[in-house]
Structure 1
Amino acid sequence: MILRPYERTIFKRYLLPARGEGFIFVAASFSFVAVMLGVAALVIVMSVVNGVRGELFDKIVGLNGHAVVQGFGGRIDNWRDVLKEVRATPGVTSATPIIEQPLLTTFNGRVEGVAVRGMLVDDIRKNDVLKGEVLQGNLNRLTDGSGEVALGSELARNLGANVGSQITIINPAGRSTPFGTVPREISYSVGAIFEIGVYDFDKSYIIMPMADAQLLLLTGDQIGIIKVQTENADKVGEILAPLSQKLAATAIVADWRSTNSSLFEALEVERVALFVILSLIILVAAFNIVSSLIMLVRAKTRDIAIIRTMGAPRDSVLRIFVAIGVAIGVGGTMVGLILGFVALYFRKGILNGIGYLSGQNLWDPSVRFLTELPSKPNPVEIGVVVVMTIVFSFLATLYPAFKAANTDPVQVLRYE
């Protein structure tokens, strides 16, 4: 908003407190702080929610793929032919055969339920989620017949195992004898410990070469699923539609939306609800701007009448008070953005500090899925917050500004 020189002078004068106007300044300060806190809260919460969704998506999809091809009965016999068919589908960037089974593992008397996943050696080494998250050991140690496996960090911690430890994996579906079924027990050496960052995966997953997994599970040359990566995760249904028709008689194609729909839908509902609820803080701040400007107009009625008598038009008075309200909104928005980004940068320390003072674990990985609090600011959402705040601030100025502009100098100065 462009102000004339004399309008800028009056604008600056009314923004700063004069003697006897401390109460008006305090009310305006509350409006500024309310806008600041509302913007900061929206930036922090929306960035954290986006970070949680993005982190979960990257980890889950990175480990399980955009889609999976699963054979009827949980087994794919002619998996090499199916794998060629999947890789030949337009839009598919990679396809990984996997065999997975829930089993038991024991070490030093400790027993844990695990999910044993067998993968081809090259796929283990090329997996972006795994290779970038190795805490100890090396994935290159996992080769066919080596007896080496990789453990999730939480699983290793629960077992008390380290790289080089000998763990035993128990397959209840062992060989049949006259006395019943004897569980199959095979010892493996821990070759690597990884931390994906998703608690449920880190506490249960054991990764091993495909040949070793097939030997442990007695499946022969079979696999359970084929993990599929596509060019566009949002269009995975369209990309894999022809494949679903080709494999209708032998396998089911399920994308990430169907396998994790409840989780991501809940996150999306929570995201929208939090945005609406926190936007009410900015709306309350706008009402504070209205009240502070009304108080300012009542305190400056005589000054407004004198200005009008000296020749100032109505639109000048209107612009002055609109500029005051918008300045409070813009100033609060800018400071709120800075406060929000600072809080996001130091979010881990702030979370730990609050947890220390309250004596509570505010980010329990077993409840929150992720081991750390993520953050992913969205420029579009931040832009919406900024525009929304400035628009609310502008609308809040209209009633007080029109009241000021419609001041009748004759009525005000009649008895002066």
Structure 2
Amino acid sequence: MAERTPPFAGFEWMIAWRYLRARRAEGGVSVMTWISLVGITLAVFALIATLSVRAGFRAEFVDTILGANGHVSVYAAETIDENGRITKGFPDYAEIAERIREIPGVLRAAPMIKGQAMANANGRNAAAEVMGLSQADLAEIPRIGHGPDHMGDITQFDQGIAIGSGIARELGLQVGDKLRLITPDGAKTPMGTSPRVKAYTVTYIFTAGRYDIDNTRIYMPFAEAQSYFNRDGVADEVEVSVENPEQIDDYQLALLGAGGDNALLWTWRDRSGSFLRALTIEDNVMFIIMSILVLIASLNIISGLIMLVKNKGRDIGILRTMGLTEGSILRVFFICGAFTGTIGTIAGVTLGCLFALYIDPIFSAVNALSGGGVWDPSIRGIYNLPAKLQMGDVLSAVGLSLGLSFIVTIFPARRAARMNPVEALRYE
């Protein structure tokens, strides 16, 4: 009994390789093969580029949220005192902050005053969100106290104020300049509440990396903020940072217990949850669209293989009469299609990874060629287009491309395997 050849034997690879590199005059389909190869390469490149930019944008956005703000704010519900006046805030904020610091996993608990004011300098105005913090608490905010593009000395914060780089640019301010803050909720007089206007020295300019923060935020020493906003003896909230902000829900019960009966929580997910959910939906839609592109590119393999099977009908008939089984014929043409898909996938992954790694110079070149203004931080929130290459994204792109390429190859390969050798040679 003749020995049965194993699947994907050497002669099957040899025949497939001869068909792939055959010239058109010899019945080959090199042009269609190249079209399929280029299509898969570009589709996989687009998929990996999209996934890396998607992951980079999300990571940068979340990092600016966590790096320039507390992870959760503990604030008090409004209460009515015995005189019928509505009060809010924590009069015992120091004790509450101390209890919160004792919770395992809490890194920082900072009493804070929050208010709005109009900033004025050099004949120009800007709306500002003013936050009152101590110097030690301000220095512990990662993107504020340790920002990469700061100016001034944060140790001088108690002698002035800290402003965002966007406000400084809009009002033409430098470290050491004077900035006037104007709020309508000033001193109460028999004639009503008069606006409060006070000038402060700019001692520190920070860049948090978020357009909306850098263009609106001002930090003021805590005691000065209490006086300026008529919040003597109280804190509006306690800003808390934790070790694992992704698991912020695990801290809620302990924080509510430390905050007292009137305590309420506002987490970073509450603050930006709608935007993050929109990003998730957009991520899923983009993955589906890019997957369709990969499928379309993979379908080109079918066209090439059908033409190859048609042109090689005589060869198939001869090979069958020589003893090749249907399985061997199927595997020969499967190798032809799978080889195209594999090489295209490898090339696409290489281009996609290079794009993600060198996105900054690529984006700078595109921005220069288009005359600038391609990326508007006032719309997108962050200052540049980030990319984050993740192994899971690369593997999903590779798996999708190879899977589709192998699946679509089976159909024309089965057609070649089932070809009747008598019919194939009848008119030869």
The 8 Å contact of residues 351 and 362 in structure 1, kept in 2 or not, is answered as no
Mapped partners of 1:329, 1:207: distance in 2: 57
Which digits, 9 at most, give the CA deviation of each residue in 1:241-272, with x for residues without a partner? 24335646322012222221111111111111
- Select 2:29's aligned residue among 24, 29, 51: 24
Mapped partners of 2:238, 2:29: distance in 1: 68
Task: Confirm or deny that 1:63 pairs with 2:63.
Answer: no
| 1:357 to partner: Cα distance | 4.3
Q: 1:244 to 1:399 in 2, by over 3 A?
A: same
The structure 1 segments of at least 4 consecutive aligned residues displaced by more than 6 Å after TM superposition are: none
Matches within 5 A, 1:12-411: 12-20=17-25, 24-73=29-78, 75-130=89-144, 131-143=146-158, 146=159, 148-244=160-256, 247=259, 249-359=261-371, 361-411=373-423
Matched to 1:152, the amino acid is: G
| 1:200 to partner: Cα distance | 0.2
Mapped partners of 1:354, 1:307: distance in 2: 54
| 1:231 to partner: Cα distance | 3.3
Mapped partners of 2:327, 2:260: distance in 1: 72
Indicate the larger mover: 357-366 or 400-409: 357-366
| 1:319 match: secondary structure | helix
Identity of aligned residues (%): 35
The 8 Å contact of residues 171 and 183 in structure 1, kept in 2 or not, is answered as yes
Mapped partners of 1:134, 1:346: distance in 2: 22
Matched to 1:166, the amino acid is: K
Matched to 2:153, the amino acid is: N
**TM-score w.r.t. length of structure 1:** 0.93
The 8 Å contact of residues 89 and 240 in structure 1, kept in 2 or not, is answered as no
| 1:348 match: secondary structure | helix
Which digits, 9 at most, give the CA deviation of each residue in 1:361-392, with x for residues without a partner? 22100000101111112211221111111010
Matched to 1:3, the amino acid is: F
| 1:260 match: secondary structure | helix
Mapped partners of 1:218, 1:22: distance in 2: 88
**TM-score w.r.t. length of structure 2:** 0.90
Structure 2 gaps of 5+ residues are 1-5, 79-87
Indicate the larger mover: 371-380 or 175-184: 175-184
Mapped partners of 1:76, 1:11: distance in 2: 78
Indicate the larger mover: 399-408 or 23-32: 23-32
The 8 Å contact of residues 75 and 238 in structure 2, kept in 1 or not, is answered as yes
Mapped partners of 2:339, 2:154: distance in 1: 58
| 2:184 match: secondary structure | strand
**RMSD (CA atoms):** 2.1
Structure 1 gaps of 5+ residues are none
